[in-house]
């Protein structure tokens, strides 16, 4: 198998199947550095036939050397070793995410640190997957509920947090004992190639983890429709999530979990600590270049403090450094691709044309790379595209509201329900508003800080199911009911028949 080098890191160019690197029969994929707009690598991709090979390898492993054949303690030990290897190679993994994802150096390293923590959390959970004994009416029976791995799972992740989103899926699946066929986003495959090498080094049996890089229309569709995959997990756009759900239903009714889009509201009430609220709100919009499904891009501000808050927010947004990804003090790097870059600029123009006031940014940053200035719109209402569509870029829409009831109504007036936040010093208000917001995650006096210990997922069209926390194990487990009949007197009809 041929290898190539990116930023001093040597990588294989093929597919990882059955613990071996094999050629891919799909069209070769060009990988571009979004900060320079230059091609940095070319990798092989999986055809539908390659997907079949990967699934067969996963199935063989699950039925013979993995799954229920390996104890929870052993699975946990392997996960701990894998976490250690990721930590030992953090510099290589971080530089790969920087050059193919445009992630600033400091943030790339933080993402890998969070990846390590996620693996260690689920490593600790591997031997704590418990069934139960059920007390039933028939005293001649012993009833047991077993929690077992669901089987072979396909996992597809987006480009905004390549290894971290991988960890959210791979860690609980390996903890449960599932065998995996994994597809990274076509824009950011490099760190996954290095990670696959670490899986083999950790000692996982062949077939327990397989990588099939490729484009969604071919490789992703093949995974979604495969008849020997028991479950698929996807993070990405709502439109793609719909297609995956349909493909899963049309094939073998495989189980599906989806973490999809968002248009989250960040509510600032008049009683908030405004300087702190402005900092958190700005962080919630511009973190990861605005490329976050939970980004608080709708900033709702009570009218009595609107003008003061706008000044504070603009000052906070203006302080973020946009620049080279290799600089440790860079906060905002480039958007992921030319497609995303053009889409975001198009929506900025739509905001201007629709009557919103652009008080900061609103244009390209520099002349090279897909950089966009941190952008702030005021005078926004919910009829505008920038208030309805997921921009997935560094664009904030600041919306005015009168009272608590109107804030809640505006916050919930969206097809999404991934996240929300409120800023207030009124504890009673916290209790009222958090209960009424239709969102899977609600932050109070902060934003975007997630933990591998707390479930994450959305309401409405933001997805199905939850990831992280002990709930994150459940989608990779199935419940088996065991009825053990032990009456020594032998068989007896359950219904007594009498003559008429």
Q: For 204-239, how does the pLDDT look when each residue is reduced to its tens digit (9 = 90+)?
A: 999 999 999 999 999 999 999 999 999 999 999 999
Q: Which secondary structure element, helix H or strand E, spans residue 6, and what is its range? A: strand 3-6
Looking only at the bridges linking them, the beta strands covering 29-33 and 132-134 are unpaired
Three-state secondary structure call for residue 136: coil
- Token code pair at residue 315: 């000052």
Label residue 315 exposed, middle or buried (CB < 10 Å: 0-12, 13-18, 19+): middle
pLDDT for 492 beyond 70: no
Chain segment 281-301, per-residue pLDDT in tens:
999 999 999 999 999 999 999
CA angle 433, 439, 441 (to 5 degrees): 90
| CA dist list (Å): 385 to 181, 228, 291, 292 | 37, 41, 18, 18
Out of 44, 97, 259, 287, the active site residue is 259
Q: Quick one: average pLDDT of 247-266? A: 97
In this structure, the chain runs to a length of 500
The pTM for the full model equals 0.95
b/e for 352-381, b at 16 or more Cβ within 10 A?
eebebebbbbbebbeeebbbbbbbbbbbbe
Confidence of residue 454 (pLDDT cuts 50, 70, 90): very high
| pLDDT given for residue 91 in this prediction | 97
On whether the CB atoms of residues 32 and 19 are closer than 8 A, the answer is no
Q: How confident is the model at residue 444 (pLDDT cuts 50, 70, 90)?
A: very high
pLDDT score of 494: 67
Q: How far apart are CA 494 and CA 496, in angstroms?
A: 7
**259 part of the active site:** yes
pLDDT tens, residue by residue, 338-347? 999 999 999 9
Which secondary structure element, helix H or strand E, spans residue 46, and what is its range? none
**Residue 477: band (very low, low, confident or very high) from pLDDT cuts 50, 70, 90:** very high
Beta bridge partners of 475: none
Q: What is the pLDDT of residue 486?
A: 82
Q: Is the pLDDT of residue 140 over 90?
A: no
Cβ atoms of 45 and 213 within 8 Å: the answer is yes
Instruction: Work out the end-to-end distance of the chain between its first and last CA atoms, rounded to an integer number of angstroms.
Output: 79
Structural domains in the chain plus CATH codes: 3-260+462-482 (3.40.605.10), 265-444 (3.40.309.10)
For residues 440 and 417, what is the distance between their CA atoms, to the nearest angstrom?
6
State residue 234's pLDDT score.
Answer: 98
Residue 497: band (very low, low, confident or very high) from pLDDT cuts 50, 70, 90: low
pLDDT of residue 53: 98
Give the mean model confidence (pLDDT) for residues 62-70: 96
Predicted pLDDT at 499: 54
pLDDT-based confidence at residue 396 (cuts at 50, 70, 90):
very high
> Is the Cα torsion angle 92, 93, 98, 100 positive or negative in sign?
positive
Distances (CA, A) of 8 to 40, 99, 162: 12, 11, 20
Q: What does the pLDDT read at residue 141?
A: 85
Pairing relationship of beta strands 152-156 and 231-235 according to DSSP bridges:
parallel
Percent of the chain with pLDDT over 70: 98
Cα 435 from Cα 433, distance rounded (Å): 5
Element (H or E) spanning 173, and its range? helix 162-176
Number of continuous H segments (helices) and E segments (strands) in the chain:
14, 24
Helix (H) or strand (E) holding 151: none
Across the chain, mean pLDDT equals: 96
């Amino acid at each position: 198998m041929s290898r190539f080098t990116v930023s001093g890191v040597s990588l294989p160019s093929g597919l990882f199947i059955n613990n071996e690197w094999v050629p891919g029969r799909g069209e070769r994929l060009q990988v571009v550095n979004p900060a320079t707009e230059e091609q940095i690598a070319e990798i092989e991709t999986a055809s539908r036939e390659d997907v079949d090979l990967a699934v067969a390898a996963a199935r063989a492993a699950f039925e013979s050397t993995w799954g229920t054949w390996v104890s929870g303690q052993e699975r946990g030990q392997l996960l701990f070793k894998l976490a250690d290897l990721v930590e030992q190679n953090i510099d290589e993994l971080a530089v790969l995410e920087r050059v193919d994802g445009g992630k600033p150096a400091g943030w790339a390293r933080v993402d890998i640190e969070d990846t390590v923590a996620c693996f260690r959390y689920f490593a600790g959970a591997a031997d704590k997957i418990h069934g139960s004994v059920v007390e039933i009416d028939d005293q001649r029976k012993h009833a047991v509920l077993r929690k077992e791995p669901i089987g072979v799972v396909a996992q597809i992740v987006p480009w905004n947090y390549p290894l971290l989103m991988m960890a959210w899926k791979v860690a609980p699946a390996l903890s449960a004992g599932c065998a995996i066929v994994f597809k990274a986003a076509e824009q950011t495959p490099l760190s996954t190639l290095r990670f696959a090498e670490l899986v083999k080094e950790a000692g996982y049996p062949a077939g327990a983890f397989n990588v099939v890089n490729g484009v969604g229309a071919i490789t992703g569709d093949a995974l979604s429709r495969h008849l020997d995959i028991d479950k698929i997990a996807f993070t990405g756009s709502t439109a793609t999530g719909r297609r995956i759900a349909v493909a899963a239903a049309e094939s073998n009714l495989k189980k599906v979990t989806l973490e999809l889009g968002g248009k989250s509201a960040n509510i600032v009430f008049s009683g908030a600590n405004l300087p702190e609220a402005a900092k958190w709100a700005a962080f919630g919009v511009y973190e990861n270049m605005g490329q976050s499904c939970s980004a608080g891009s709708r900033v709702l501000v009570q009218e009595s403090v609107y003008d003061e808050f706008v000044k504070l927010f603009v000052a906070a947004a203006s302080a973020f450094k946009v620049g080279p990804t290799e600089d440790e003090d860079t906060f905002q790097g480039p958007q992921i691709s030319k497609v995303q870059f053009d889409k975001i600029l198009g929506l900025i123009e739509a905001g201007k044309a629709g009557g919103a006031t652009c008080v900061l940014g609103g244009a390209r940053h520099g002349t090279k790379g897909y950089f966009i200035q941190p952008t702030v719109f005021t005078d926004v209402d919910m009829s505008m595209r920038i208030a309805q569509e997921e921009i997935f870029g560094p664009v904030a829409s600041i919306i005015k509201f009168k009272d608590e009831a109107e804030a809640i109504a505006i916050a919930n007036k969206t097809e999404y329900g991934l996240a929300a936040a409120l800023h207030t010093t009124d504890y009673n208000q916290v209790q009222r508003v958090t209960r009424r917001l239709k969102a899977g995650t609600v932050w109070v006096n902060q934003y975007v800080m997630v933990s591998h210990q707390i479930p994450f997922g959305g309401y409405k069209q933001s997805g199905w199911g939850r990831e992280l926390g002990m709930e994150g194990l459940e989608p990779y487990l199935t419940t088996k009911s065991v009825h053990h009949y032990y009456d020594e007197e032998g068989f007896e009809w359950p219904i007594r028949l009498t003559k008429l």
